[in-house]
Structure 1
Amino acid sequence: MDNIILIFVCMLLGFALKRTTAFPPLSYKVLNQFVIYISLPAVALYYIPKLEISSKLLFPLGIAWLGFALSYAFFSVFGKIFGWSKRLTGCLIIVAGLGNTSFVGFPVIEAVYGKEGLETAVIVDQPGSFVVVSTLAVLVATTYSRGTTSSLEIFKKIAFFPPFVAFTIACFLNVAQIDFPETLQSVFQRLGSTVTPIALVAVGMQLEFDSKSKHWKFLTLGLFFKLFVTPAFFYLLYIFLLNGEGLEVQVSVLEAAMAPMITGAIVAASYGLKPKLANMMIGFGIPLSFLTLVFWYFVLKFV
């Protein structure tokens, strides 16, 4: 419950701070850079070395990777049919293609399925959502942002993206079965815990409620895809086609129904992919998801 309250407090603080002179108008950009260069690498360096690789990874791991591929296919087709700009298409692919599987996902899963369910949720998030946002999301952001970019430039942006660098180091440590000293682990854990509050304050600083905005129809489509189409896809795939059952499958499908990922919105905004729309999807998507998650919980309960 504390996490849920913190979400709304941070967004409201950001919304209020935007209207004061204490913070410059572009303060949110500094906060976004802090998350990308410090908070997210710390998350990778703390969690990835501790992951246990096994066959249990398959169902939860597919949520982020297949979900992002589905988003890419869905919005690429719509973008071509309706002649959307590359920035709009890229924004929707990234923000609607990634779920908030940790900060919203973890407390919800723990409340519904207990500590055992949380173990599966960590797999959905760390080798799933976190890696996808550090690789595929950056690839899409670079490709769909303004200007032409060569393959070499795209490779450089991914290879030197701070969370990806940290992830690569953490993977090496995982394979070598080495972890950092406890003191450093504590530092990484504390730095990593700044992701959500700082990111949400930045989101709040960019939220605008303009009834005449052209983004409303795209917001509706993006949230419909994330909150209904994506979990429905995994429900059909995992339960009916692959005959999956048990706690791991239920946790995986419920994680697929989570609101858009805050970090995904930051990546989209950092590359100039419709920042207002990206932040609207977070600002409206998180509260709305608490209603749609109840629907999916009961759908899964009667499987």
Structure 2
Amino acid sequence: MIAIVALTTVWLTGWTLIDTILTLPGVVSVHDLHLWSLGDGRSALAAQLAIDEIAHWPGILAELRRTMDERHGIRHLTLQPEAALDEALARLRLAEAERDLQRDMALRFERELESQRRELSGAVQGELGEHLAGLRAMAETLEARLAQREPSLAELAMLIRRSADAMASSIRSLVARVRSDQMQGESLPDGLRALVADWRLRHSGARVELLLDPSEDRVFGLGQPGVETLAWRIADHALERALVDGGAGMVIVSAIRDDDELRLQISDDGQPHAAGGARDAARETFDDLCGRAAACGGRCTIALGEAGGTEVRAWLPWPV
């Protein structure tokens, strides 16, 4: 469209200007062109230009200013660039295709890794788990029978039992490192429900409760994928420490979304956390999770609970 202002010569000049603009490299089309007189023989021009590459706009604009000044004496230009629609759509489709390909490759890798983890876990359980369980039961029986008659031998049996427990814990931690970090479920509340249900099945004698605030997934909202996965891993590790290593009879997992923060707490009534105890694989895993929490702007702690047992707490960023 050409807006006609002032004299007939302006109309003729408008078509001439369009031809001039289209001769410049990178300009695809011209529309909404307005040309008017400023008086004293001066003219002004405004138009929208479709260009091939938005990155080329600075060079196109400089060439336009020079050409308009030299050929037509127009120094007052108001120009709005628009990238060619077809090219923009093509780039969008290419980016979407690359994203889908990367997602499919990541999902395939996760499935393969999870399959390998299950195979390794089954092999370790079959080859070592049964032997360790038998060794622990034998040591526990000897410890009970020798406690009165041979205290020194009973103490040796106790050391054997503790060594078997430590070895079993190390094997579990080693297998856990191989598994996928991806939580089950489409959201953190969904993932925590699946996690708690899994631990209830594995430890039917213990009571495991889950508290969510807000209770509705839609209101709870979605966090960054890395933050949701980290929160899920912290809860999983705390449940393992409480039920497997701590012998807890009750564990309460609570996740509270408060404005821009997620507060996660796992409390148990099992063997209290020893702050000054020796470092083991479980402690190294917890320290790694704390480091990941700090890296994303949060923090994570483990301490004695107010009513006994252990409390694991995490504060993680959550989008508003």
**Shorter-chain TM-score: what band?**
under 0.3
The answer to which structure, 1 or 2, has the higher relative contact order (CA under 8 A, 6+ apart) is 1
Higher strand proportion: 2
Structure 1 length-normalised TM:
0.24
Structure 2 length-normalised TM:
0.24
Q: Tell which structure's C-alpha radius of gyration is larger.
A: 2
